[in-house]
């Protein structure tokens, strides 16, 4: 009878180690996603410039072919990182991004999607536009935190935008309950 107890104890230790490793991995991913967003329409002030040969790491998100973290060297601008990410994806609002802006280490470049038409009379709906919202706007929805906002933005970038609001259900972490709580607060 002692042998089955040892197996149970060993199994418990293995499960606990896997849970700890998974928790550490999630914590690492969330801490890496904290980046400063580059506001495409607002002027920004850089606190320093890159020296020749210095590595700059920038997170490129939104409507680009391959969103992700890129490391390049030299005096770099937004256009260099968008090119490294494969260029603009279909549906990108390229004119909303200042391609000539210089970047510093740790920044984020977000390429928004094309604006969707407004409701009748040119009035906006006051809802979060799934195809145009940035991470902060996504996080304003009930039950949407930084990690889930990132998954929504990633889905949007890889799928070329949302065609229907129901597509939100395809994003990992959005089930029927969460979908029902936000479906009336979003638009296309």
Please give the residue range of the domain that contains residue 79. Answer: 36-111
Structure confidence by residue, pLDDT tens digits, 130-170: 888 888 888 888 888 999 999 999 988 888 888 888 889 99
Q: Which CATH number belongs to the domain containing residue 172 in this structure? A: 1.10.150.320
Partners of 129 in the β-ladder: 187
Which of 27-36, 38-47, 63-72, 130-139 reaches the highest mean pLDDT? 63-72
Which residues, listed in sequence order, are joined to residue 37 by a DSSP beta bridge?
108
Report yes or no on 23 lying in a domain: no
Q: Would 75 be classed as within a structural domain?
A: yes
11 confidence band (pLDDT: 50, 70, 90): confident
Q: Is the pLDDT of residue 30 over 70?
A: no
Q: What is the rounded distance in angstroms from the CA atom of residue 143 to the CA atom of residue 42?
A: 29
Q: Are residues 105 and 167 in the same domain?
A: no
**Structural domain includes residue 2:** no
- Asked if residue 135 and residue 100 are part of one domain, the reply reads no
- Residue 13 or residue 3, greater confidence: 13
Q: Say yes or no to pLDDT of 175 above 50.
A: yes
pLDDT at 44: 33
Over residues 9-38, the mean pLDDT reads 72
Tens-digit pLDDT profile for residues 50-93:
445 688 999 999 889 999 999 998 888 999 999 999 999 888 88
Same-domain status, 97 and 137: no
What's the rounded mean pLDDT across residues 8-27? 84
> Which of 18-22, 51-55, 112-116, 133-137 shows the lowest per-residue confidence on average (mean pLDDT)?
51-55
pTM: 0.38
Please state, in angstroms and as integers, the Cα–Cα distance from residue 74 to each residue in 49, 103, 171, following that order: 10, 10, 37
Of 55, 56, 54, 59, which Cα lies nearest the Cα of 32?
59
Q: How many domains does the chain have?
A: 2
Question: Are residues 159 and 101 both part of a single domain?
Answer: no
pLDDT reported for residue 82: 93
Pair (98, 50) in one structural domain: yes
Query: Which string of DSSP letters, residue by residue, matches the chain?
Result: -HHHHHHHHHHHHHHHHHHHHHHHHHHHHHHHT--EE--SSS----S--PPTT-EEEEEEEESBSS-EEEEEESS-BHHHHHHHTTSBPTTB-GGGS-TT-B--TTEEEEEPBPPPPPSGGG---SSEETTT--HHHHHTSTT--HHHHHHHHHHHHHHTS-SSGGGGGGSTT--HHHHHHHGGGEE-
């Amino acid at each position: 009878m002692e042998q089955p107890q040892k197996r149970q104890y060993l199994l418990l230790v293995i499960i606990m180690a896997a849970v700890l490793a998974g928790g550490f991995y999630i914590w690492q991913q969330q801490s890496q996603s904290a980046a400063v967003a580059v506001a495409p329409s607002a002027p920004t002030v850089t606190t320093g410039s890159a020296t020749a040969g210095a590595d700059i790491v920038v997170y490129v998100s939104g409507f680009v072919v391959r969103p992700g973290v890129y490391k390049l060297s030299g005096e770099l601008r937004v256009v260099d990182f968008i090119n490294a990410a494969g260029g603009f994806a279909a549906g990108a609002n390229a004119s909303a991004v200042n391609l000539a802006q210089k970047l510093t280490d740790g920044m984020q470049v977000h390429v928004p999607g094309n604006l969707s038409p407004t409701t009748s009379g040119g009035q906006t709906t006051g809802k979060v536009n799934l195809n145009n919202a940035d991470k902060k706007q996504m996080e304003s929805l009930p039950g949407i935190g930084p990690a889930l906002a990132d998954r929504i933005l990633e889905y949007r970038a890889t799928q070329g935008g949302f065609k229907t609001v129901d597509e939100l259900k395809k994003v990992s972490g959005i089930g029927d309950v969460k979908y029902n709580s936000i479906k009336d607060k979003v638009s296309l």
